[in-house]
Amino acid sequence: MGKGQYNRKLERLTGQDMKQAFITSTHYLEKNTDHINALNVFPVPDGDTGINMLLTMRSVKDEIENLENPPVSLVASKASLGSLMGARGNSGVILSQFLSGFATALENVETCDAQTLANALVASANAAYLAVAKPVEGTMLTVMRELSDAASQASLANQADVIEVCKAAVAAAHTSVSNTPILLNVLAEAGVVDAGGVGIAVLLEGFLSSLLGKSMKDLSFQKYSLPNLAPLPPSINKQFLDDAQSNQYGFCTQFMIQEHTVGIDEIRLQISEMGNSSVVIGNQSIIKVHLHCDNPDTVISYCQSLGAISQINISNMDQQHNEFLDFHSQSKQSPNLGIVAVVRGEGFASLFKSLGCHSVIECINTMNPSTKELIEAAKETKSNQIVILPNNPNIHFTAEQAAKIFGPGLYYIPTKTLPEGVAALLSSSPDLPIEQVLKNMNHVIKGVRTLEILKAVRSVKISGISIIKDQIIGLLDGKLISVGKTAITVLTNSLVNINIEVDQIITIYWGRDTNSATAKTAMKQVSNLLPKNEVELVYGGQPFYDYIVSLE
Delineate the domains of the chain, giving CATH numbers in brackets.
12-217 (1.25.40.340), 245-321 (3.30.70.120), 333-447 (3.40.50.510), 449-551 (3.30.1180)
Q: How far apart are CA 530 and CA 395, in angstroms?
A: 34
Indicate left, alpha or beta for 213 from its phi (over 0: left) and psi (-120 to 50: alpha). Answer: left
Helix (H) or strand (E) holding 539: strand 534-539
Mean pLDDT over 517-542 rounds to 92
- Whether residue 232 is predicted with pLDDT greater than 60 in this model: the reply is no
Q: Which residues pair with residue 472 across a beta bridge?
A: 455, 484
**Residue 307: what are its φ and ψ, rounded to 5°?**
175, -165
Secondary structure element (H or E) that encloses residue 483, with its range:
strand 479-484
pLDDT at 43 over 80: no
**Looking at per-residue confidence, does 328 or 532 come out higher?**
532
Strand partners, 289: 255, 280
Judged against a pLDDT cut of 90, whether residue 514 lies above it is answered with yes
For residues 373-400, give the mean pLDDT: 93
User: Looking at beta carbons, which pairs linking 147-152 to residues 24 or more positions away fall under 8 Å?
Assistant: 147/121, 147/172, 147/173, 147/176, 147/200, 147/204, 148/118, 148/121, 148/122, 148/124, 149/122, 151/117, 151/118, 151/121, 151/122, 152/118, 152/119, 152/121, 152/122
Give the pLDDT of residue 218: 59
Range in 19-28, 81-90, 340-349, 398-407 with the lowest mean pLDDT: 81-90
Judged by average pLDDT, the poorest of 41-45, 155-159, 172-176 is 41-45
pLDDT at 48: 79
Residue 525 has pLDDT above 90, yes or no: yes
Helix (H) or strand (E) holding 28: helix 15-31
Q: What is the mean pLDDT of residues 175-203?
A: 90
**Most confident of the ranges 84-98, 183-197, 361-375, 478-492:** 478-492
For range 226-246, the mean pLDDT: 44
pLDDT band at 209 (very low <50, low <70, confident <90, very high): very high
Residue ranges with strand state E in 328-395: 338-344, 359-363, 386-389
Position 434 pLDDT exceeds 60: yes
Assess contact for 133 and 153: CB atoms under 8 A: no
What pLDDT score does 233 carry?
Answer: 39
396 three-state secondary structure: helix
C-alpha span between 175 and 183 (Å, rounded):
13
| CB-based contact 159:165 (threshold 8 Å) | no
Q: What is the mean pLDDT of residues 274-281?
A: 64
Tell me: pLDDT of 180 over 70. Answer: yes
By three-state DSSP, how is residue 479 classified? strand
Q: Residue 304's pLDDT band (boundaries 50, 70, 90)?
A: confident
The DSSP code for 356 is T
Q: 39-48, 97-106, 334-343 — which is least confidently predicted? A: 39-48
Among 218-232, 283-297, 496-510, 514-528, name the most confident range.
514-528
At 133, the pLDDT band (50, 70, 90 cuts) reads: confident
- Which pLDDT score is estimated for 466? 86
Look at 13-17, 273-277, 384-388, 466-470 and tell me which has the smallest mean pLDDT.
Answer: 273-277
Q: Where are the beta strands (DSSP E) in 168-285?
A: 251-258, 276-282
Q: Quickly state the pLDDT bin for 20 (edges 50, 70, 90).
A: very high
Average pLDDT over residues 532-539: 88
Amino acid at 504: Q
Rounded to an integer, what distance in angstroms lies between the CA atom of residue 102 and that of residue 127?
Answer: 8
Q: What is the mean pLDDT of the chain?
A: 84
Spatial neighbors of 268 by CB under 8 A, at least 6 apart, are: 278, 280, 407
Query: How many CB atoms lie under 10 A from the CB of residue 132?
Result: 15
Average pLDDT over every residue of 238-265: 63
* H helices present in 106-194, as ranges: 114-130, 140-155, 162-183, 185-190
What's the chain's length in residues?
A: 552
Confidence tier at 90 by pLDDT (50, 70, 90): confident
Specify the pLDDT at position 8. 77
Question: Which 3-state string (H, E, C) describes 445-475?
Answer: HCCCEEEEEEECCCCEEECCEEECCCCEEEE
Backbone angles phi, psi at 303, to 5 degrees: -70, -25
What is the structure's pLDDT at 258?
A: 80
Q: Which residues contact 15 (CB under 8 A, 6 or more apart)?
A: 67, 69, 70, 71, 72, 73, 74, 75, 110, 111
To 10 degrees, what angle do helices 396-406 and 371-380 make? Answer: 60
Nearest to 254 by CA among 318, 312, 316: 312
Instruction: Look at residue 313 in the predicted model and tell me its pLDDT.
Output: 67
Spatial separation of the C-alpha atoms in residues 226 and 223, rounded to whole Å? 10
Higher pLDDT, 127 or 296: 127
Average pLDDT over residues 313-320: 52
The better pLDDT of the pair 508, 273 is held by: 508
Q: What is the mean pLDDT of residues 55-74?
A: 95
Q: Give the per-residue pLDDT at 284.
A: 64
